[in-house]
A and B are shown apart, each in its own frame.
Chain A
Amino acid sequence: MKFLSELTKGIIKDNPIFVLVLGVCPTLAVSTSVKNAIGMGFAATFVLVCSNMIISLIKGFTPPKIRIPVYIVVIASFVSIVDMMMAAYIPDLHKNLGLFIPLIVVNCIILGRAEAFASKNNLINSLADGVGMGLGFTLALMVIATIREILGAGTWLGIPVIPASFEFKPILVAILAPGAFITLGFLMALVNLIKERK
């Protein structure tokens, strides 16, 4: 039962962006379009799951004093491996995601989950935590990106969604950095409102 709750908590209850407020930097940077959001979400999820598992495995072996540098080495190595493997074997996908892969290293969701969860829990629960948090991150990114892309470019996943008869001028600020802060602020307020009502 614990496995299931670890898996689902990341989606709303402990959503990494709206509730834990982790990984905001890459969120602001890549939520300009839904395609980027999906790419970043899945790439980060993959690294998160792998690093959570490895860190859970070596937790008995790692002295607490040097745990942070050890986690960073593990995470950075995974990111580099993913980057090189993708460039060599799936170059088309790498062309689209290439930009986000180095960004994953500085995504504090991954370090945050390593420190707060994987270093204290067993392999299976760490795996569930990684998958759940990754999906929560991907979903949150997609919601923000949907709002920004529709407002800022009038498209969703590159497809025009606003009928041409409706004379729509894209709101450029939605795609620029301030648009990310504004959107994130409103969405956090909304999530808090929903949580308080419960």
Chain B
Amino acid sequence: MMYYIKLSAILFLICAVAAGILAYVNGITDPRIRKIQEEKETATRAELIPEADFPEVKGTLDTTFVYQRAIDKKSGELKGYTFVASRSGYSSVIKTMVGVDTLFNVIAIRVIDQKETPGLGANCTAEKFTDQFKERDISRLVLDKDGGGEGAVVSIAGSTITTRAITSSIRITLEKLQAEIKAAQGGEQ
């Protein structure tokens, strides 16, 4: 009996030391990781809609939904919105940052986080794929494999699930954004 208590105590001790070290390392690195993440997001936003500031807005219908208004740095005019669309793809949650103009046509997209299959799904970050989203409105955010017909988003061969996740996440989140903006405007009037 004593023997097993001793074993448990040793294991507990080792785990406690490991947990302590991990907590310490996390304490130092976490603020830096957050800062790097934020800087990266700001940089991506500036790539999507240049020359703008991005004040963040919280949704009123869905309070977990966050988007940014793109305000022109010089004139102060509203140029559009940016938001992050996410959905699980083939082997990871794919996050895409989307910039749209005031009429909700896509300006550009960037895949900011994905862990899809290297050589297949991971190719979704390539400009060859993301550039086809430019100037699309919500009705044309459909994949060719899903009956999009002519002018649909062309999926990457062997990566339909990845490309479908990106296309549909953008469409769904854009619908959400439209509803939020409508609600916000209704409130102002």
Contacts and interface: CB of A to CB of B under 8 A. Distances in A.
Interface in A100-117: none
Given A66-B7, A66-B11, A33 B25 contact: no
A76 B18 CA distance: 9
Nearest to B39: A91
Interface in B70-127: 115, 117-120
A77 B119 contact: no
Contacts of A62: 10
Which one of B10, B11, B29, B118 has the greatest number of beta carbons of chain A within 10 Å? B118
B32 interface: yes
8 contacts: A61-B10, A63-B6, A73-B14, A84-B25, A84-B30, A84-B33, A99-B115, A175-B120
A163 interface: no
Contact of B25 (A63, A74, A81, A176): A81
Interface string A49-67: 0000000001001110110
Contacts of A36: 118
B118 A87 contact: no
Nearest to A172: B158
A176 B21 CA distance: 39
B32 A89 contact: yes
B119 A87 contact: no
B5 interface: no
Interface residues of B, number: 24
B119 A32 contact: yes
A69 B10 CA distance: 11
A64 to B, nearest CB: 10
Interface of A: 30, 32-33, 36, 58, 61-63, 65-66, 69-70, 73-74, 76-77, 80-81, 84-85, 87-89, 91, 98-99, 149, 152-153, 172, 175-176
B36 interface: yes
Contacts of A89: 29, 32
A91 B119 contact: no
Nearest 6 Cβ contacts at the A-B interface: A88-B29, A88-B32, A77-B18, A32-B119, A84-B29, A175-B119
A152 B11 contact: no
A165 B29 CA distance: 51
A80 B22 contact: yes
Interface string B18-53: 100110011011101100100000000000000000
Contact of B118 (A30, A91, A98): A30
Contacts of A69: 11
A32 B10 contact: no
Given A84-B33, A88-B28, A98-B115, 15 more contacts: A33-B118, A36-B118, A66-B10, A70-B14, A74-B14, A80-B25, A81-B21, A81-B22, A85-B25, A85-B29, A87-B33, A87-B36, A88-B29, A88-B36, A175-B120
Contacts of B21: 77, 81
A73 to B, nearest CB: 5
B172 interface: no
B57 interface: no
A16 B55 CA distance: 53
B173 to A, nearest CB: 24
B26 to A, nearest CB: 6
A9 B97 CA distance: 48
B6 to A, nearest CB: 8
Given A33-B118, A176-B158, A87 B29 contact: yes
Contacts of A80: 22, 25
A85 B26 CA distance: 9
A158 B15 CA distance: 42
